[in-house]
Amino acid sequence: MSRRRLRAIFVKELHHITRDPRSLGMALAVPVMMLLLFGFALSLDVDRIPTLVYDQDHTERSRDLIRQFAGSRFFDIRGYVDSYAPIERAIDRNRVLMALVIPRDYSKDTSAGQKAPVQLLLDGSDSNTASIALGYAESVVRNYSLELRSDMQNRRGGGGATAPAVDARLRVWYNSSLESKNYVVPGLIAVILQIIAALLTSLTIAREWEMGTMEQILSTPLRPAEMVLGKMLAYFVVGVADAAVAVLVGIFVFQVPFRGSVPFMVVSTCVFLFGALFWGIFISAAAKTQLQAYQMGILSSFLPAFLLSGFVYSIETMPPVIQWITRLIPARYVVTILKGVFLKGVGFRVLWGELGFLALYAAIIFVLATRKLNRKLA
């Protein structure tokens, strides 16, 4: 392999990139736009749940329970109704997610020390959101029930409340505020880099054939491996710039904590970019037209990276066959690396397996791209 020829194809491809400032600007701006759009729009937090209240009791005790819901950040009381019909209409029209129904004898039952049922009506069309909302509501009711029981014991016995048998003290590691953006943004960076890297290089060789410049390249002593490496390195510069901008946006715009090693993150990102860019060149060598290369690049990068990387959907909850397929998706490993570096502060000692897979993947795709280009040129 000649360093001179490699440098020549690198400079040629770099000139081609810089000659089209609009495409270069889009290559740098699209990752930021996607990160901002998905980062703000794709929120897994369930709070300020729109709620209606149907209070049949109209007592101080029932109003006290309503205040428990109104004082929680998870619920937003949108209004009060006097029958079930307005609740049904509001849920059907997606105006509320939940309704709290307090029965007529609620105050009487609680004062007598008896069980007082409280009805919660939820829109179950979105089962995940409904389950989370139900958990929040049950927590509010449970805590209020304990307060009532403690107050009644104080009144009857005149002594202090009996301490619970188990005192659970929760401590949340790595994302103590439980904000979904801290979980979503690092994975989103990986997904965006996978998509952009594959699309940047998926048109390179197909464009050479359509523009008729491949015949000129064939007249030179340039080897397929030198062409693949030269083209990859030119777009690698753009990919590194995209990665740096995406990481800075994640840290300074979304305020995602960064606890890990910068050198390890840089090495991991570069290895991942090598594989993603080589994959784009492989697609470009296999495709006959730029349109076909673009379509193949989208299908092979966006869908697997978005659905099978663990970026949004937990891999552990997928069927066993799909879990095995995800092991072949490179975005899965870089998502794990970025989340570990950002949130947990772990490095090579923990993530060496993921980094090793990315390096192996990049080497295999480089060999496949070189052989595919060699056969096409022959």
Tokens 């703000």 found at: 40
For the CA atoms of the chain, what is the radius of gyration?
29
DSSP SS3 for 55: strand
**DSSP secondary structure, 161-219, as one string:** PPPPS--------S-TT--HHHHHHHHHHHHHHHHHHHHHHTTHHHHHHHHT-HHHHHT
Question: Mean pLDDT, to the nearest integer, of 45-59?
Answer: 90
Tokens 């029981």 found at: 149
Q: Would the pLDDT of 21 be above 60?
A: yes
Q: pLDDT tens for residues 269-292?
A: 999 999 999 998 898 888 878 888
Q: Would the pLDDT of 164 be above 60?
A: no
Q: Would the pLDDT of 165 be above 70?
A: no
> What's the pLDDT at 51?
95
> What's the pLDDT at 167?
66
Report which of residues 272 and 7 the model is more confident about. 272
> What's the pLDDT at 91?
92
Dist. CA 32–CA 255, nearest whole Å: 15
* Contact yes or no for 373/285 (Cβ under 8 A): yes
Q: pLDDT tens for residues 116-138?
A: 889 999 998 888 788 889 999 99
**CA nearest 339: which of 237, 190, 163, 194?**
190
| Percent of the chain residues past pLDDT 70, beyond the cut | 93
> What's the pLDDT at 344?
92
Q: Please, where in the chain does CATH 3.40.1710.10 lie?
A: 49-157
- The domain over range 49-157 is classified in CATH as 2.40.50.140: no
Report which of residues 264 and 208 the model is more confident about. 264
> What's the pLDDT at 377?
63
> What's the pLDDT at 299?
87
Q: Would the pLDDT of 150 be above 70?
A: yes
pLDDT band at 77 (very low <50, low <70, confident <90, very high): very high
Q: Would the pLDDT of 342 be above 80?
A: yes
Written in H, E and C, the secondary structure of 269-320 is: HHHHHHHHHHHHHHHHHHCCCHHHHHHHHHHHHHHHHHHCCCCCCCHHHCCH
pLDDT band at 184 (very low <50, low <70, confident <90, very high): confident
Dist. CA 240–CA 273, nearest whole Å: 8
| Percent of the chain residues past pLDDT 90, beyond the cut | 37
Dist. CA 308–CA 327, nearest whole Å: 9
> Range with the lowest mean pLDDT among 33-42, 189-198, 279-288?
33-42
pLDDT band at 54 (very low <50, low <70, confident <90, very high): very high
Question: Mean pLDDT, to the nearest integer, of 7-18?
Answer: 83
58: exposed, middle or buried (Cβ count in 10 Å: 0-12, 13-18, 19+)? exposed
> What's the pLDDT at 45?
72
Strand 98-102 to strand 49-55: parallel, antiparallel, or no bridges (unpaired)? parallel
Report which of residues 79 and 153 the model is more confident about. 79
Question: Mean pLDDT, to the nearest integer, of 202-212?
Answer: 75
> What's the pLDDT at 276?
92
* Contact yes or no for 121/99 (Cβ under 8 A): yes
What phi, psi does 119 have (nearest 5°)?
Answer: -95, 135
Dist. CA 14–CA 38, nearest whole Å: 30
> What's the pLDDT at 170?
78
- Residue 94 backbone class (left: φ over 0; alpha: ψ -120 to 50; beta: rest): left
Question: Mean pLDDT, to the nearest integer, of 193-211?
Answer: 80
Q: Which value, to the nearest 10 degrees, does the dihedral of the CA atoms of residues 235, 200, 353, 348 take?
A: 50
Q: Would the pLDDT of 207 be above 80?
A: no
Model pTM score: 0.80
Question: Mean pLDDT, to the nearest integer, of 347-357?
Answer: 94
Question: Mean pLDDT, to the nearest integer, of 192-198?
Answer: 86
**DSSP secondary structure, 80-123, as one string:** EESSHHHHHHHHHTTS-SEEEEE-TTHHHHHHTT-----EEEE-
> What's the pLDDT at 218?
65
> What's the pLDDT at 227?
84
> What's the pLDDT at 194?
87
> What's the pLDDT at 159?
53
